[in-house]
Chain A
């Protein structure tokens, strides 16, 4: 039994979809920040255009990562020794989302100051909550993957016992 391909597919999907969640919710729906508002405030049409361009580039990356995740999931589904575990897949996706939040938050919000969660506040409690959400999601995802593996291993042992 091999859960790694499903885990990797889930993590890639989680990174991509975590990026989409960030872009759709924070950039577009709530309009709390854009990709470079920490450096280029939205005070003119030209600045808004530049931010929109980098938002587009950001979404290109999330799209490609999601596409890679779908490809990996397809490959995992074709392997005989990979158990089709919803818990492992969703655990991987949650872990991937957490990885995105933590790494993107650390680099863009705190190191580069490219943007902040609530731009008008600068570095605020929301940026630290964003980082904390990343760590929490990584831990929850990791726990789900481990428990999914344990369940699948037990199922596999049980089947072996019945065949013997």
Chain B
């Protein structure tokens, strides 16, 4: 389960890198480089990633804290 959460988290960050290249080649990317909207980009990163990171942490903590309490059939 821990490995799976690691994969989910790692995979979640892939689009950030992939789209960073795409946006730089567009007209918007040019404006970002010119500083028109560049100062607003960090909040985009935080706004997109932070909720998912928080959910992943809450879920992982819930799994770890709760543990296995199900009755087992012999």
CB of A99 closer than 8 Å to a CB of B: yes
- Collect the chain B residues with CB atoms within 8 Å of residue A40's CB: 37, 40
CB of A143 closer than 8 Å to a CB of B: no
Please classify how large the interface on chain A is, using the bins under 10, 10 to 19, 20 to 34, 35 or more.
35 or more
One of A39, A46, A57, A114 near B16 (C-beta < 8 A): A57
CB of A90 closer than 8 Å to a CB of B: no
Which has the most chain A C-beta neighbours within 10 Å: B43, B47, B48, B63? B47
Contact B8 A50 (CB under 8 A): no
One of B11, B27, B41, B68 near A46 (C-beta < 8 A): B27
> What count of chain B residues pass the 8 Å CB interface test?
36
Contact B43 A49 (CB under 8 A): no
One of A4, A8, A60, A68 near B70 (C-beta < 8 A): A4
Contact B58 A50 (CB under 8 A): no
- The contact string, 1 if C-beta is below 8 Å from chain B, for chain A 150-164, is 000100100010000
Interface SS of chain A: helix, strand, loop or mixed?
A: helix
Contact B50 A112 (CB under 8 A): yes
- The contact string, 1 if C-beta is below 8 Å from chain B, for chain A 122-152, is 0000000000000000000000000001000
Contact B28 A39 (CB under 8 A): no
Q: Report Cα–Cα, A48/B48, bound state, in Å.
A: 17
Interface SS of chain B: helix, strand, loop or mixed?
A: helix
A18 and chain B: residue at smallest CB distance = B55
- Collect the chain B residues with CB atoms within 8 Å of residue A104's CB: 51
Contact A58 B50 (CB under 8 A): no
- Collect the chain B residues with CB atoms within 8 Å of residue A47's CB: 37
Known: A1-B71, A49-B27, A57-B16. A35 touches B48 (CB 8 A): yes
- The contact string, 1 if C-beta is below 8 Å from chain A, for chain B 9-34, is 00110011001000100111001100
Shortest beta-carbon contacts, A-B, top 6: A114-B47, A60-B15, A49-B28, A104-B51, A54-B44, A68-B8
Residues of A within 8 A of B (CB): 1-4, 8, 11-12, 15, 35-36, 39-40, 46-47, 49-50, 53-54, 56-58, 60-61, 64-65, 68, 71-72, 81, 99-100, 103-104, 107-108, 112, 114-115, 149, 153, 156, 160
Q: A2-B68, A103-B51, A156-B71 given. 6 additional CB < 8 A pairs?
A: A50-B32, A57-B16, A57-B44, A65-B8, A99-B58, A107-B47
